[in-house]
Structure 1
Amino acid sequence: MGGRSESVAGKRNPRLALAALSLSMLMPSLDASIANIGLPALSHAFAAPFQTVQWVVLSYLLAITCLIVSAGRLGDLIGRRHLLLIGIVLFTVASLACGLAPTLPILIAARAVQGIGAAIMMALTIALVSGTVPKERTGRAMGLLGTMSAIGTALGPTLGGLLIAAFDWRLIFLVNVPVGLINFALAYTSLPADKPAATAKKGPRFDPIGTVLLAASLGAYALALTWGEGHFGALNIGLVIAAFIGGAVFIQSQRLVAAPLLRLAMFQRPGLALSLALSIAVAATVMGVFVVGPFYLGHGLGLSAGAVGLALSAGPAVSALAGVPAGRLVDRFGTRRIMLLGLAGMVLGLTGLSTLPMLFGVAGYVAPLMLLTAHYALFQAANNTGIIQGIGADERGVVSGMLSLSRNLGLITGAALLGAVFAYGAGGAVTEAVDPAALTHGLRLTYGLIGGVLALGLIAALRAKPVKA
């Protein structure tokens, strides 16, 4: 698509535009983790059990998972800047509703609406990079957005804890309101306008049936892996089956409708499907490390809760610091080489995590964790840049949504599946009384499994062709 969407607008400040995109990435990432720390306070405030209160987190994540691809496609059709502004307003107003919610059901509903706004913001932020910064600086911009995502995820529990301790649980949501207003002002004044996709001007513009099928399938999958707090029963199995059946029906529907939500032909482009699959695997790896880590450091090495948090914080800190330098390396050496380097470094980090803690204790865990997260930043910057640069302008929204979806599915899968692998390797329930040797076995099994998956991904990436439009 030509015109203003393919170049940086003349009179607009690209630095302010990048600041707007950075806030649009930071806010949804922050709210994905900030509410977790408030669950005990919410349980007390509303006199509700944990199983009910956890829907404050689940409703947000499910809304993002179900709608992020559709949000990207809608941005392609009606204009990405226009829809991003709507998403920011929706997120900000819903944050205000969360902070003022008089009952738990209203809070859960407001969080779902907030998740819709977050889905729009996450889907379109990456897609808007190409129209905001010059092509030769795309890697740096992607690195910066990766940094903001890491900062938001890492900052959430800390900021939430401080706000609850000093004020009230309502502040963890109300803090979004002034930031959202600033974000809207920056986005409105600095982001270049774009045009709807030319291919969508005639005939059907959207695929409502496909949208519902995809949302239902993704929602069933996400619920299957989060329902029951790790206890995988008949309901979970039923939801997984429903998710796969729904996914198959969705794919068939995309072959029949005039204006499909996903053009299946684009997956035939070299490298795209592999890049999305690697994004799922890498996100699952990182989440798995942070799910397993607290149990091993706490029960296996005997650290206090505070010491565990401090040790694990080294990972997000390194990822945040490495984001921008990673983007510079991508711009200088290209996406393929940096992506391969990132994958190789992650495999090496997982190898260290499965062996060094037994020899060097906490230092043996933190050092390879830092190696892993630094190379995670390299992979993210390279993979995201390669995907967006290799996709036509009229599909950047939907592909950006798929990229964000792949990360979200990886996080959910990593938390549920790899947590179950660790528990299995440790001999069942992981408690303070479990034998440290059993925890070591669970650790090695989990990191060996995901290390093997990433090694296979590295081999596939070495043999694959880069993404092409």
Structure 2
Amino acid sequence: MKSIIAGRIEAAADGTQRTSSVRWALAGLSLSMLLASLGTSIANVGLPTLAQAFGVSFQAVQWIVLAYLLAITTLIVSVGRLGDIAGRRRLLLAGIALYTAASALCGVAPALWLLIGARAAQGLGAAIMMALTIAFVGETVPKARTGSAMGLLGTMSAVGTALGPSLGGVLIAGFGWRAIFFVSVPLGLLTLLLAYRHLPLDRHDPKTDRPGFDSLGTLLLALALAAYGLAMTLGRGHFGPLNIALLLAALLGAAFFLLVEARVPSPLIRLAAFRDALLSGSLAMNLLVSAVMMATLVVGPFYLSRSLGLEAAIVGIVMSIGPAISTVSGIPAGRLVDRLGAPVMVMVGLVAMAAGSLALSLLPALFGVAGYVAAIAVLTPGYQLFQAANNTAVMADVHADQRGVISGLLSLSRNLGLITGASAMGALFAIASAATDIATAAPEAVATGMRITFAVAAALIVGAIAIAGASRRIAGRPSRSAKAS
């Protein structure tokens, strides 16, 4: 009897210890996501100060932001795959260490070229952190709580993005521009400590069983994505010969990449994975949804200032409402996914986003700022619900040796959506406004552009709903081989 009681006490203690370790591991993963998102937004507010500090043009100083974004976009799939092969824990630790060291280097950089190089290195660290943080959820969190974990990571991503501009402004005003990079150093060290102590150890498989790393495929994909990213960001949405040349280079690079992947023994991305309707559909939906969310960041400030006549400070407050709603809705969204299931919540999230996009097209013209805020209050929780459900659905049944690359593909589709949304939705807004310069356009023209842009956004979300339904039908259809048997 005593032995049974002692065994139960020991099991209970072991369970409590394991739960505590999971919580600390999730805290480390959350900080990792926070840091990567913070690095995306905190530098933007400092660009005017940096241009003055280095005595360079705004076009030159833009590369401080572009270097970070391009490094993430071009390398996020590759580092995910490298984590699958070499070990996710050791690579994540290396990524956090690189991000932290690069942040310190950004803070002491004496010249612009060195700052841009350090930002690229910081972007590589962020790519590792973004790709492997989602991949680690399957190894650290019980399956029944996956949705909650995804919701928490979505919340931390929103917090980092929302915190960046305000924190950056305070730090620059109080301590100078170098502080916006130094602030990530102690946070990075804390993240590194938590990850080192609480993340599960990598499994040591025999070296003969390990697949090789697809170096050529990695290079081709990086070049194609870099060309696409530059095509979509240079010229601020105005396409010229250089943008067209870069798009053609991206298409050519993608074609060569597909040829290589079909022939190498250990491809970076198994092309057969895209025959999975659920994966392909999820990536396509992620891209469309991210493009729509970027439209709120690109179009919103112009509409609030030019059409509604709000002062800059009030515009900032109104624009912060969306990220604030994201922050408080992420964890509840994840819990709903755990309770009601990912497929259902994907649909619910998309329907809410369609309603929110349509509301952004109609309500601000009728009710002004109140209409804008009401529409955002519908759109943003829908986005958080979709993200938590979509990530959970994709990662639920992924084989352990593919978690890194699939997680990287999810992050890549989101980044491509953000880049495409900034360019394409911004260009649509300008065309719909019928103005050569949005900054000086008439209030009525800007209102027209807002209405048309978000009507198109609603149509894109309806397209995502159609993709969700079609992918579920195809995935549920028995294969020919199954029928034959």
TM bucket normalised to smaller: over 0.9
Per-residue CA distance 1:8-29 (angstroms, 9 max, x = gap): 9958710000000001100010
**Which of 434, 449, 469 matches 1:427?**
434
Q: CA deviation at 1:203?
A: 7.0
Render the CA deviation track for 1:195-251: whole Å, top value 9, x for unaligned: 2678x8447510000000000000000000111233210000110111011111101
**Superposition RMSD in Å:** 1.7
Query: Percentage identity across aligned positions?
Result: 55
8 Å CA contact retained: 1:12, 1:190: no
Offset, 1:380: 0.3
Q: Distance in 1 between matches of 2:62 and 2:204?
A: 39
1:177 is aligned to 2:179: no
Match of 2:326 among 311, 319, 329: 319
Query: In 2, Cα distance between the equivalents of 1:215 and 1:389?
Result: 27
Could you list the per-position Cα deviations for residues 123-167 of structure 1 after superposition, in whole angstroms to 9, with x for gaps in the alignment?
A: 000000011111100000000000000000010000000000011
What CA deviation, in whole Å up to 9, does each residue of 1:156-186 have, x standing for no partner? Answer: 0000000000111000001111111100000
Which of 158, 168, 171 is equivalent to 1:150? Answer: 158
1: CA distance, partners of 2:96 / 2:386: 28
CA distance in 2, matches of 1:407, 1:431: 27
Secondary structure of the residue aligned to 1:303 is coil
1:12–1:191 Cα contact (<8 Å) kept: no
1:23 counterpart = 2:31: yes
Task: Check the 8 A contact 1:276/1:406 in 2, yes or no.
Answer: yes
Task: From 386, 396, 413, give the equivalent of 1:389.
Answer: 396
CA distance in 2 between partners of 1:197 and 1:386 (Å): 28
> Which deviates more from structure 2 when the two are superposed, residues 61-70 or residues 454-463?
454-463
Structure 2: distance between partners of 1:203 and 1:88: 24
Contact (CA 8 Å) 1:78, 1:196: kept in 2 or not? Answer: no
Counterpart contact for 1:132–1:191, Cα < 8 Å = yes
* Structure 1 residue 443, shift from structure 2 partner: 1.1
Choose 1 or 2 for highest CA Rg: 2
TM-score if structure 2 supplies the norm length?
0.92
Cα contact 1:9–1:132 (8 A) shared by 2: no
**SS of equivalent residue, structure 2 residue 472:** coil
2:61 is aligned with 1:42: no
What is the match of residue 191 of structure 1? 199
Residues 435 and 445, structure 2, Cα contact 8 Å, conserved in 1: no
Say if 1:126 and 1:400, in contact at 8 Å, map to a contact too. yes
Partners of 2:175 and 2:74 lie apart in 1 by 33
> Which residue pairs with 2:12 in the alignment?
none
Provide the C-alpha distance between the structure 1 equivalents of 2:208 and 2:414, rounded to a whole number of angstroms: 31
Deviations, residues 67-95 of structure 1 (Å, cap 9, x unaligned): 00000000000111110000000000000
Whether 1:67 and 2:75 are equivalent positions in the alignment is yes
d(CA) in 1 for partners of 2:308, 2:65: 30
* Number of residue-to-residue matches in the alignment: 461
In the other structure, the counterpart of 1:249 is 256
1:357 is matched with which residue? Answer: 364
User: Aligned partners of 1:315, 1:196: CA distance in 2, in Å?
Assistant: 44
CA contact (8 A) 1:8 1:131 kept: no
* Residue aligning to 1:345: 352
Decide which of 301, 304, 321 is 1:297's aligned counterpart. Answer: 304
Q: 2:423 aligns with which of 402, 416, 426?
A: 416
Give the distance between the partners of 1:409 and 1:69, measured in 2 at CA: 12
Q: Give the C-alpha shift of residue 398 in structure 1.
A: 0.2
Residue 310 of structure 1: how far off its partner (Å): 0.8
| AA partner of residue 100 (structure 1) | V
Q: Which moved more, 1:446-455 or 1:148-157?
A: 446-455
Give me the whole-angstrom Cα distance separating, in 2, the residues matched to 1:326 and 1:204.
37
Normalising by structure 1, we get a TM-score of: 0.96
Is the Cα–Cα contact under 8 Å of residues 430 and 438 in structure 2 kept in the other structure?
A: no
Q: Which residue matches 1:328?
A: 335
Aligned equivalent of 2:376, options 354, 359, 369 = 369
Aligned mate of 2:100, from 92, 101, 115: 92
**Kept after mapping to 2: 8 A contact 1:84/1:124:** yes
- Larger mean Cα displacement after TM superposition, 421-430 or 38-47: 421-430
State the 1:384 CA deviation.
Answer: 0.5
- Distance in 1 (CA, whole Å) between partners of 2:171 and 2:149 is 31
| Cα distance in structure 1, aligned partners of 2:48 and 2:95 | 29
**Equivalent-residue separation in structure 2 for 1:430 and 1:29 (angstroms):** 30
Helix, strand or coil at the partner of 1:169? coil
State how far apart, in whole Å, the 1-side matches of 2:439 and 2:176 are.
Answer: 32
SS where residue 177 of structure 2 aligns?
A: coil
2:40 pairs with 32, 50, 53, which one? 32
Checking the alignment, whether the CA contact within 8 Å between 1:292 and 1:443 is kept in structure 2 is yes
* Gap regions ≥5 residues in structure 2: 1-14, 477-485
In the TM superposition, what is the alpha-carbon distance from 1:459 to its structure 2 partner? 2.0
Residue in structure 2 matched with residue 457 of structure 1 by the alignment: 464
CA contact (8 A) 1:78 1:197 kept: no
Change (3 A) 1:243 1:266: same
